[in-house]
Amino acid sequence: MVAGLSVTIVLAATLLAFAWHLHGRSAQPTVPRPEGVPSNLSNYIVNLMQLSPVPHRAAPDFTFTDQHGKTLSLHSLRGKNVVLNFMDPHCTDICPIVSQELIDANHLLGPLAKKTVFLAINVNQYNRSVANVAQFSNEHRLSSIPSWHFLTGSFSSLQASWFNYGIAVYAPSRSADVQHSSVTYFINTRGQEEYLAAPQVDHTKKGVSYLPAVKLKAWGQGIAQVVKDLTP
């Protein structure tokens, strides 16, 4: 379902984000500003987010169960801005960082938050229960976002969504850490992909994940500003 130019952009961003996730690198190369990114974003934020426009294809649909046990499909969200991520409910690395960025973005959106939905699809095949995604949502305060949905389902349906969105997942065993690419899709009110971003994280010498406050704040601002650009 992923073809042509869209494949090239998605896989390039995915592999770059996956490399940062595995090796703890947060320093991005300075690259020319991509054409088509929102003009309301500074060059610093565009480069920090590795933000790129993508062809306006229909975002692949999916139907999963969220942390409340409710069934939700992407198609049912037409008319809303959608910020889509892929997370591990047992992650102690980049997912908690992204969680804070989403909370900040939701706050910065103000009234527009009511027209925006924040989604994450589970990448942990061994922890797929509603209880797993609910616990993560509560522990990291994602439940404070009214439109937050942490989605999970059967292994085969999750695999299909990973494939459709170019997400690399490596989970060698139940006890091993899940290694996965971290990308953020921005989907417009017509259900089309518009932008792709690549979250990142730093690590201390002891391997503890973090992101400097200035970058954390900038990410929240960037997400909010992209969503504002999406709004008709």
The pLDDT, as a whole number, for residue 30 is 56
The pLDDT, as a whole number, for residue 10 is 45
Compute the average pLDDT of residues 111-139. 97
| Other CB atoms within 10 Å distance of the CB of residue 200 | 25
Total tally of structural domains belonging to the chain: 1
pTM: 0.85
The model's confidence at residue 205, banded by pLDDT at 50, 70 and 90, is confident
The parent domain of residue 56 ranges over 4-230
- The lowest-confidence range among 5-14, 78-87, 101-110, 113-122 is 5-14
The pLDDT, as a whole number, for residue 175 is 85
> Is pLDDT at 163 greater than 50 in this prediction?
yes
Compute the average pLDDT of residues 106-125. 97
Going by C-beta distance under 8 Å and a sequence separation of 6 or more, which residues neighbour residue 193? Answer: 6, 54, 55, 56, 57, 58, 59, 185, 186, 187
Compute the average pLDDT of residues 23-31. 45
Question: What's the alpha-carbon Rg for the chain, to the nearest Å?
Answer: 16
* Residue 206 vs residue 157, higher pLDDT: 157
The CATH number of residue 87's host domain is 3.40.30.10
> Is pLDDT at 106 greater than 70 in this prediction?
yes
The pLDDT, as a whole number, for residue 13 is 46
The SS3 call for residue 125 is: coil
Which of 221, 218, 197, 214 lies closest to 85 in space, CA to CA? Answer: 197
As a whole number, the mean pLDDT across the chain is 88
